[in-house]
Structure 1
């Protein structure tokens, strides 16, 4: 009981009235300021008050743009992917161009018997090794990335057989072949177009894949007003599986770039055979120079 009475007395002491002012000597309560007292600047309810800022919505100077969704092509067929001043860009996808057992045997033979080597390229005067192995077949040398692959007329017999089969289905003739070996998922080829002047205008590239599946990516060249910004361009994704043939035709090399990006999960080796037609370097062009489309081209 004594504790209870003590608590009541303590609580009651909190409720005692404030002491009254005692004249001139009395202190002014903080809650009862004198009418003649100067207001304290910055105190609540006194002094100059800041007006609340009004927020106005300004229409953006540039329209809001959405990044186009990436398209995926997996089914056999002919695809018109763009049509512009440079012409019509076409793809033809043929999964199962080679039967699995046949493709298995060819992959093993080419992996073991082709003269694979690592090419050294140059970028802004700096040398770097390509993140893949290559070899070249053709009566003429081939220059890209400021580095030349020497002419090689000693075609492997299996490659001659494959060239004939690709020519029959495509209706085109090819006199050269660039072979690429991607040893694992870390091997790659960066964004580029096969638009060297030695390949001529509107080249057809026939790409035959053997081995593990890798994603072949394409992105459209941005219009001049984008100043080289690829953020809002169209993109296409094509998984290229064992025995698949892909044809790139028309203005594809003028209007699109392609790549095989690095992949950071387990990937086995893949061989890519890219059949093409090469011509002597045009007069006035240095080896490996790009053939740029202009509106005056026919």
Structure 2
């Protein structure tokens, strides 16, 4: 077999290599065979001196998100506004009772979609709600009227939550997240009608959803949350979460949309509502950190 046919038919790394062809000089060419061999760099290496200066700006790191899953008291911050604290009860309701309560409330509460307003435009909340309380509740520039016709099961749950929290709640905002597309955006429960450093109790029934918190930035950050602390609290069926102290002054919270399929979830948010103080804008008022409405002496005593 000729050498040429052998190379064509044999595959693999051991095939006989082709002989090297001699390089022939290019006729009439003024450049050497390697045109860059004799060229010197023209960008002046060594002609300029560089000196390193340590930056006067502190290096900022984006903090990792912390997860809170264990029962107990969790002090999440302590600043000029005071201590911000979360209290978690992951098995506040037995599973069988929670199942029955979820089904009953899902079927019997007067769920409806509330209309809110942002920059003069209306939009439907991405969830269903209903309100119970002797006073109206205003947030996002929209008011939920007073409703004293409490469902009997809600009265039972309010007594249990009062006992666990040591508070006395007089109102309840019920939220129904129908699926993974329902949500509530970043906000703080800091309306003037909630008083100073309110305690908010959140009882969850149904599918697990993530409750997220982020610390409010100091004034010099100009509203940039990039480098602020973040928390993540999975709220499962029958879980009670209490937000206490300066949590509403120093933190925001949300329940974000999710990409994975989620079943319905009911969130019962118990609050203590006071008549709005004179001089405060009616509802939707966001108080800056360290400020509070002027309440009567009686109201101050009830908050202590």
Q: TM-score range by the shorter chain?
A: 0.7 to 0.9
Shift of 1:115: 0.4
Question: Which residue matches 1:291?
Answer: 287
Residue 51 (1) aligns with residue 47 (2): no
Q: Which runs of 5+ in 2 are unaligned?
A: 1-20, 33-37, 294-299
Taking a change above 3 Å as real, the CA distance of residues 50 and 79 of structure 1, as seen in their structure-2 partners, is closer
Question: Which residue matches 1:281?
Answer: 276
The SS at the match of 1:264 is coil
Shift of 1:30: 3.4
Shift of 1:294: 2.8
The count of corresponding residues between Structure 1 and Structure 2 is 267
Residue 182 (1) aligns with residue 165 (2): no
* Partner deviation per Cα, 1:41-91 (whole Å, 9 max, x = no partner): xxx659x95523758345445332111111110010101111111111111
Question: Which residue matches 2:265?
Answer: 270
Residue 159 (1) aligns with residue 177 (2): no
Question: Which residue matches 1:124?
Answer: 119
Corresponding residue to 1:247 among 242, 246, 250: 242
Quick check: 49-58 or 139-148, which moved more?
49-58
Shift of 1:287: 1.5
Question: Which residue matches 1:203?
Answer: 198
Indicate conservation of the 8 Å contact 2:196/2:292, yes or no: no
Q: Which has the larger radius of gyration?
A: 1
* Partner deviation per Cα, 1:212-260 (whole Å, 9 max, x = no partner): 0000001111111111110111111000000000000000000000000
The SS at the match of 2:180 is coil
For 1:142 and 1:296, locate their aligned partners in 2 and report how far apart those are by CA, in whole Å: 18
Indicate conservation of the 8 Å contact 2:195/2:292, yes or no: no
For 1:140 and 1:80, locate their aligned partners in 2 and report how far apart those are by CA, in whole Å: 31
Taking a change above 3 Å as real, the CA distance of residues 50 and 280 of structure 1, as seen in their structure-2 partners, is closer
Q: What value does the CA root-mean-square deviation take over the aligned residues?
A: 2.7
The SS at the match of 1:257 is strand
Q: Which runs of 5+ in 1 are unaligned?
A: 1-9, 19-26, 33-43
Following TM superposition, where does structure 1 have runs of at least 4 consecutive aligned residues deviating by more than 6 angstroms?
A: 295-298
Question: Which residue matches 1:140?
Answer: 135
Q: TM-score of the superposition, structure 1-length normalised? A: 0.83
Q: TM-score of the superposition, structure 2-length normalised? A: 0.81
* Partner deviation per Cα, 1:177-214 (whole Å, 9 max, x = no partner): 00000000110000000000000010000000000000
Question: Which residue matches 1:81?
Answer: 76
Taking a change above 3 Å as real, the CA distance of residues 159 and 58 of structure 1, as seen in their structure-2 partners, is same
The SS at the match of 1:68 is coil
Residue 30 (1) aligns with residue 30 (2): yes
Indicate conservation of the 8 Å contact 1:86/1:295, yes or no: no
The SS at the match of 1:110 is helix
Indicate conservation of the 8 Å contact 1:139/1:152, yes or no: yes
The SS at the match of 1:107 is helix
Residue 191 (1) aligns with residue 183 (2): no
Indicate conservation of the 8 Å contact 1:85/1:295, yes or no: no
